[in-house]
Copies of this chain bind each other. A is one copy, B any other.
Amino acid sequence: MKQITLKQIAEHLNISITTVSKALKDYPDVSPKTKALVKELAKTLNYKPNTFAVNLRTKESKTIGLIIPVIVHHFFSSVIKGIVSQAEKKGYLVIILQSNESYELEKKQIDLLMSQRVDGILISLANGTADFSHLKEVLSQDKPLVMFDKIAKIVKCSKVIIDDRKAAYLATQHLIDTGCKRIAHFRGALLPQNSIDRFLGYKKALLDNNFPYDPSLVYICECGDMSFEEGKKNAQQLLKDHNDVDGIFINTDLVAIGAMTEFNKQGVKIPEDISIVGFSNWFMSSVISPTLTTIDQPGYEMGKAAFKQLFKEIKQRKKSKPVVFKEIVLDTKLVKRESTKEMVV
């Protein structure tokens, strides 16, 4: 029941290991006859090359690493699916790690993947990550790295993102177009680029429409993984602080759903009293009531694009060509549902 090796095939056939190896890989300098013989025996013996040995020889593992902040998450699990399916097509396997929004863990995991000698790394940053030396070290070792969704602008590498600012602008403009006069924003954590850009989009839309920008209408929350609860809490606070708000642009669907739950409980009517726009288009958003107007964020496509770019860089590096970094920006669109009023024509 031991695993078959080249040596055993060679001995069976009374030829050298070299020839067996070459036969299996269709080298031109082995006769069709022996090729056929070797291949047949390999098949009947169910020969599987020893990956460990191959890796050692070729210095590549056909494996990539993936680090994401959370796994149980509609958007991120879509990304995983995109990456895994694309990788499989190209003969790559993917190792998954979850940073839990912690910088410390993220750092350790990068280290782990580096000693595992994966061929490349895909990462979406933790909220807590403000220092990027661990990423820079990956790059300095010439290991392909591409960031997606939650990225660091300063780090010089390929990135796959959406135009968060534009999408947020769109969302806010939609609130304005449907008659909202005083618009709040739940922005979540402070650090992530996403969060910043969405906030900036919100602000710009206000100013472009001659709405005053009021910082007290922007709600921040550094509560880690508690998105749903965060929405509830922010909603409560908002009702206390500002009873004149009639529209909210919320960073993430899950937070939005938390807020809606609270509003429903308190008898605040959506969208009559308050309109809400979320972000990401979780499946859930289409089945709650009222259904949530939101920005569609293409997770699957993002995963696919991220892997494709990584794959390209792995190949470039292998041929020791200079790698060209790319910033890929995917399209988003507003999905109009029931949580916002109809357009005023």
Contact = CB atoms under 8 A, between A and B. Distances in A.
A56 B116 CA distance: 13
A95 interface: yes
A74 to B, nearest CB: 7
A131 interface: no
Nearest to A141: B1
A51 B63 CA distance: 13
A84 interface: yes
A2 to B, nearest CB: 10
Given A74-B72, A84-B96, A50 B117 contact: yes
Given A81-B98, A94-B95, A97-B84, A117 B51 contact: yes
A52 B63 contact: no
A61 B50 CA distance: 12
A61 B61 CA distance: 12
A213 to B, nearest CB: 31
Interface stretch (A157-165, A190-198, A282-290, A332-340): A282-290
B1 A140 contact: yes
Q: How many copies altogether?
A: 2
Interface residues of A, number: 46
A111 to B, nearest CB: 9
A8 interface: no
Given A48-B114, A55-B56, 18 more contacts: A1-B140, A1-B141, A48-B115, A50-B117, A52-B52, A52-B56, A52-B61, A53-B56, A56-B56, A72-B74, A72-B80, A72-B81, A93-B97, A95-B96, A257-B287, A283-B284, A284-B287, A288-B289
Interface of A: 1, 48-53, 55-56, 59, 61, 63, 71-74, 77-78, 80-81, 84-85, 88, 93-98, 112, 114-117, 140-142, 228, 257, 261, 264, 283-284, 287-289
17 contacts: A1-B140, A1-B141, A1-B142, A48-B114, A50-B56, A52-B55, A52-B117, A56-B56, A63-B95, A71-B77, A71-B81, A77-B77, A93-B97, A93-B116, A95-B95, A96-B96, A264-B289
